[in-house]
Structure 1
Amino acid sequence: MARYEYPFTIIHRCGHPGSYKATQDLLLGYKERLRARDCDECRNAKGGQETLTIDGQECVLPAITIGSDAQIAWAVKIRRKVLTVLLKNHHQGEPNPVDWMRNLTSAKWWIDHRDVPPAALAPAVPKAA
């Protein structure tokens, strides 16, 4: 049976509207993630960067660009969860967890490592990444 995709329009954080489609089971979470980010045009104008605000701390990371739309949305959610945990447990003098995330723009890497404890992720980052 074919799954119906519902069209919808949202206003992004930057104030620009965006039109999308999603199945009913993904609709609510997808809308919230899209509202919380800038539109594609604004992100590209910023050099493909994405700004995440976690516990009042603003983190600028490159946008996850490698993967399908669904994979990217999932990877952004995983990265946000990991970053939240790492920033809550971050102590002065330790390396900033954002630093090792800067070159990870593949949704596949985040999805493949989704079950790895956040504290163990930094050593899992390939040296070429």
Structure 2
Amino acid sequence: MAVKTVWHITHSCGHQAERDLSDRAADRRAGFAEWLAKQECTDCWRATKEGNEQDKAAWLKAKRAQEQAESEAWSQQYRMPPLEGTERAIAWGVRCRHQLLAAAYTALVLEGDTSETEWEEIEETARTITRAGWWIDQRSSEPDDLTELLQAATEAARPTENPHF
């Protein structure tokens, strides 16, 4: 007598289905059928996944909107100039600038040895960088590196003196 190939499965969602398991080795069919019974049917699984993707997208959109509002309020409070770039880059750059400067303030002033006066100088230098792309590029930088990054950016912006003229 041959091991059956078509199994009647009652899924965890309550739906029932006939499953052809002939593509599996005979000694693995019963175990797989048991596992299938513990899962939702394909239609319920897809519906749940699609709902989760929609929920995730809505959550992410709301989180980005909240971060954007907080970053824009912070930019106004600390008199940060508007950034330059595409509309999308500007929004992202504003969030990156806020996150980097806030993290740097915590690391350098609150947890480090930088005085408030020294921080004000760092903040003033940060105001001179208005290219959104620069802030986006620095988003993964360590907060302790901010001073060096700002120095490199402002030195690159200065015209170099040519000793040959």
User: What's the TM-score bracket when you normalise by the shorter of the two chains?
Assistant: 0.5 to 0.7
Taking the TM superposition and a 5 Å limit, the aligned residue runs for 1:1-129 are 27-33=61-67, 35-36=69-70, 37=72, 50-51=75-76, 58-64=77-83, 66-88=84-106, 89-90=108-109, 91-92=114-115, 94-96=118-120, 97-124=122-149, 125-127=153-155, 128=157
TM-score normalized with structure 1 length:
0.55
Work out the CA distance in 2 between the residues paired with 1:34 and 1:112.
18
Work out the CA distance in 1 between the residues paired with 2:82 and 2:141.
21
- In the TM superposition, residue 24 of structure 1 has moved relative to its aligned partner by 5.2
TM-score normalized with structure 2 length:
0.44
Of structures 1 and 2, the larger Rg is shown by 2
Gaps of 5+ in 2: 1-56, 159-165
- In the TM superposition, residue 35 of structure 1 has moved relative to its aligned partner by 4.1
Question: Would you tell me which structure has more helix in proportion to its own residues?
Answer: 2
Going from structure 1 to structure 2, the CA distance change for 1:68 and 1:82 (only over 3 Å counts) comes to: same
Percent identical across equivalent pairs?
Answer: 24
Going from structure 1 to structure 2, the CA distance change for 1:71 and 1:29 (only over 3 Å counts) comes to: farther
Superposed CA deviations along residues 51-88 of structure 1, whole A, max 9, x for unmatched, are 1xxxxxx4111111x21121111111111111111222
3-state SS of 2:101 partner: helix
